[in-house]
Amino acid sequence: MANESKGKRHGGQQSRRDFLKATALSAGAVVLAGARLPSAYAAGSDTIKVGVIGCGGRGTGAVKDCLKASPGVQIWAMGDLFPDRLARSHAGLSKNYTDKAQFDVPGDRRFAGWDNHEKVIASGVDMIITATPPGFRPMVLKAAIDAGKHVFMEKPVATDPVGIRSVIESSSNADAKKLAIVAGTQRRHQGSYVETMKRIHDGMIGELVSGQCYWNQGLLWVHKRKPEYSDMEWQVRNWLYFTWMSGDHIVEQHVHNLDVVNWAFGGMPALAYGMGGRAARKSEDCGNIYDHFCIEFEYANKARTISMCRQTNKASGRVGERVVGTKGYTDFRGRIFDHKGNELWKYEGPNANPYVCEHADLVAGIRSGKPLNEGKRVAESTLTAIAGRMSAYTGRAMKLEWALNSSKLDLVPEKLAFGPLEVRPVSKPGTTALV
């Protein structure tokens, strides 16, 4: 495929607050403790061999983050749907990493084509990094877990409810096999976020009553069509702009912010009610995705939050999250305030690179025999974004339980091969069917 944060028990039960505290602590514990892997793992049989599936910009960047994170990690195999992407990534990494103990990917461990993920998984690796376009990620995750491999998986993890159910099933199988799944939601591994979340779950701002999250920015890259491209090749190379590939930008990008709000509330919302549209995107190169969304999410305690995301040039940008409780609020910039604006707490801990920390936590968990498994959690946050998109596309309120358990929406083509592939029309609220 191609490329593209132990509670107290009473009567045998754990309280919701204790559960949330434990959840907040677990993902960032290695980072905040300053722990890194012992030098005994730097060579020999302790080396963790890593295969990279999806060698575009994010896959290549994830390789660098992984190698920075931990000693005793070796990039062993690489795969991509497109030979040119594979060659470009390999050439760049080869120049930067000349020590074969870190990077050793000869020609017979470089794979292109539709089965590249299968060949990487079968090449003798212990772990994979998957940075394919999101539409392919459920398939790659299933293959890796079935084969007994640990996984670093970029977000989002699917583009439709059928894919989400596959990821949740793979996550359950990973638990049974004691395999790690760590997702590219790096805020879950960022010290300031982890410590802020601990205080939210300790009750510093009281019961949560509302929240806001945003990813408003300008336009992103476009891969223009060339005469020699088939429909399928163009859509995969230009994957950001097709819902079956990216999930639309609310899923591909805004999932970061939605994941933070879900983290604060202790789970995904019950209801999504939203709108969106396509005002700035006009050309064929922009596929069939929207350029703006606004979604209201309602959580189990009836608190409502607002989600905004936009990709429009020459407009004010805003990226971040905010949650409000009965006693105060936080903007997740390492500070908590009361409702008069007085600072109640400020984060003064380490500020390690969270993109590196997520890989360090992944590898440390593998080596400790206590692998992290973020699969179900990131699937639920991805579903939150998908449900918001489905509501905006259809014009209907969306129960997330229905989307999770009953929706039959499956956007990925049954046949994955180069050739003709119709572009679905841009969705129109009121006429787009709810599936």
Q: Which two tokens stand for residue 307?
A: 């989600």
Which pLDDT belongs to residue 24?
39
For the chain, what percent of residues have pLDDT higher than 70?
90
Which pLDDT belongs to residue 409?
98
**Distance between the two ends of the chain, CA-based, in angstroms?**
27
Alpha-carbon distance 22 to 343, whole Å? Answer: 25
Annotate 197-227 with DSSP letters as a single string: HHHHHHTTT-SEEEEEEEEEE---------T
Q: Say if CB 62 and CB 151 are below 8 A apart.
A: no
Average pLDDT in the 313-334 region? 97
Q: Which two tokens stand for residue 57?
A: 């910009």
pLDDT bracket for residue 261 (50, 70, 90): very high
Burial class (CB in 10 A: 0-12, 13-18, 19+), 302: exposed
311 three-class SS: strand
Long-range CB pairs of 220-225 (<8 Å, 24+ gap) are 220/311, 222/285, 222/286, 223/285, 224/285, 225/284, 225/285
Which pLDDT belongs to residue 8?
29
Which of 25-29, 197-201, 213-217, 403-407 is predicted with the least confidence, judged by mean pLDDT? 25-29
2 pLDDT higher than 80 = no
* Token pair 């120049």 in the structure block, residue: 95
Which pLDDT belongs to residue 1?
56
pLDDT digit string (tens) for 30-86?
444 333 333 333 333 589 999 999 999 999 999 999 999 999 999 999 999 999 999
160 three-class SS: coil
323 pLDDT higher than 50 = yes
Q: Say if CB 370 and CB 162 are below 8 A apart.
A: no
Burial class (CB in 10 A: 0-12, 13-18, 19+), 40: exposed
Distance of CA 246 to the CA centre of its chain: 12
23 pLDDT higher than 60 = no
Which pLDDT belongs to residue 46?
87
* Domains of the chain, start order: 9-187+355-374 (3.40.50.720), 193-350+381-405 (3.30.360.10)
Q: Which two tokens stand for residue 314?
A: 């020459």
- Neighbouring-strand partners of residue 338: 328
The amino acid sitting at 223 is H
